[in-house]
Structure 1
C-alpha cells in the first residue's frame, strides 16, 4: 500500500517532520516538537507528545494516544479491525476508516470523521465516540455509530447507519440522516433534526427545537418551551412539560401536548390531538378534506381553558353554525376545516371557545 498516497487523500492533511514509520511497534513521541508517526501492518501502540502530532495507525488493530497539542489521528485503514484512539488535551482532528473505532476526544474542540463500511464484504463498521469538554464536531459514516458528545456546545451529523447520539449538556445541534436514528439532546437548548428513516428524537430540560423527517418519527419535547414539527410521515409527538408549539405536518399524526399551555397545529392529514393539562390553543387551518380529532378539550373564557384558533370571525361563526353531534361529541366543519371534539356536548358551543389569530 502507498502510505503517502493514502495520507494525502484524507482531508488534505499536511504531515509534520520528523517521520517515524514501522511495520509493528510501540512508538512513543517525546518533547514539544510535532512529529509524524506511521504505524505498520500489525497492531501498533502509538503515543504522541506535547506538540502538534500526526499519528497514523495504518494496518492492524491499533491503540493511539495523541497527548497534548492539536493533533491529527488516522485510524487503521484495513478492514475488520478495532482501533482505540484518545485525543486527550488539544483541538484534535480524528479520522476513522474501514475498521471499527473507539474514540475518546478529551478536552478541546475536537472534530471526528467516522469511517464507512467495508466496500468488499459490505460489513458495517460501528464507531463509538466519547466527547469531553469543548465544542466537538462529529460526522458519522456508514456504520451504526454511538456518540456521547459530553458537555459544551456540540454538533453531530448522523450517516447512513442506525446511529445513537447523546448531546449532553450545552446547546447542541444534532441531526439524523439515512438510518433509523436515536437522538437525545439532554440538558441545554438543543436543535435536533431527523431525516430519512424512522427516528426517535428527545429534547431535555430546556427549550429545544425538534423536527422529524420523511418517515414516521417519535418526538419527545421534555421540559421547557419546545418548538416541535413532525414534518412528513405519520408522527407521534409528546410536548411534555412547558408551553410548547407542536405542528404535525404532513401525514396522520398523533400529538400529545402535555402539562403546559401548548399551541397545537395538526397540519395536513387526519390527526389525533390530545391537549393534556394547561390552557391549550388548537390551531384550525384548511387541511384538504382531512379530519382532526381533539380529545380532552376543556373550553373556557380567555385566558383560561382551551381554545380553537381561527383566522377570522366569519370562520368562527361558520364553524359554530355547522355544529352537530350529541352529548359527548361535537363536530365542526366549514371552509375545508373539519374537527371533531370528543367529550364535548354540542349544545355548549360558544364564541368563547374561539380565538382569532
Structure 2
C-alpha cells in the first residue's frame, strides 16, 4: 500500500470533471520518480500566487447564513482540513480540490484598497463583514502577507463591524485592533475546535494549530474583552461526535460566551476526497461513518438544501442537537447572536483626509 503524505490533508490530487479539468500527467521531472525510488511520496511545497480581483466583498442571500457580505483574503487554505466545503472552488481555476487546494494558494494583497473603494461609495450601508467564511483568514501565509490585518486596520479606522471565524491562534496577533473595536461593539471572533485529540486533529486538520493553542486563543481573546464563541464544525459521526460535550466544557472554561455546531458537509469533490481519507486513516469504520452521514443528509453524501444543509436531518441530527443544547445550557454557553453596532460607521477619508475631524 502506498504511503500517505505527512502534514497534508488530502490523500491525492483528485481531478474535477465538473469543469472539464484534464487529467494531469507526469512531466518527466526526476521528482516524479521519487516515490518509486525512495518508497515515500515526494514533499509538496506551498506556493502563493498574487490574485488581483476587481472587487473584494462577496454578497450572499442565503437564508441560513447570518451575514450578507464577506471577505476572503486568500483562495485555498494550507490548513488542509479534509472536510473543507471550500475545496471545490479550486476547480474554477483548473486546479484540483485535493492537494492543489492545500498547496497552490492565492493571496489578494490589494484587498484593503478594494475595500476602501467599497466603503467610500455613496449610499454604502454598513453591516457586519464576515472573515473566514470560505478559507481561513489566519492560515500560515497571513504571517507574511498580512492581508487580513490590512483589512482590519481599515475597518477599525472606519468603525465598521466585523466577525472572524478561524482555526488559528494567530488571530491573537491582532488584539491591538480587535479589542478596541470590541469595546465599541464592533467585533466578535469564533474559534473552530473540531477535536481535542491530537492524533485525530493531525490527520483531520494537518496544518491547523493544535487544539490546545486554539483554546488558549479563546481565553486570550475573552480576557481582552473580545466576545468569543467556539464552533464545533464539523461534527463527524464515529470520528469526533463523542467529543462534543468535552469540547464545550473546555470552551466554557476558556471563557467562550456561546457555541455552535454543524454536521459534516461533503459537497461536490469533497465527498470522494473524504472517502479516500477515511479509507486511509479509518478503514475499520469507513462504511459506518458514511452510512451515518447519508442518514444525516437524506440518503445522499450531501444535502445542499437551505436550512437542512447546516442542520442535518433524521434521528442522528436530532440526537446531536439535543446533546449540544443540553451541554450548552448546563455550561452557560448561551450568549446567543451578537448585535454588532453599525451606527458608528464613518467612510474612509478622501485624499485630503477628513477635514471635519
TM-score (norm 2): 0.24
Q: Which has the higher strand share?
A: 1
Larger helix proportion, structure 1 or 2?
2
Structure with the larger RCO, 1 or 2 (CA within 8 Å, 6+ apart): 2
TM-score by length of 1: 0.24
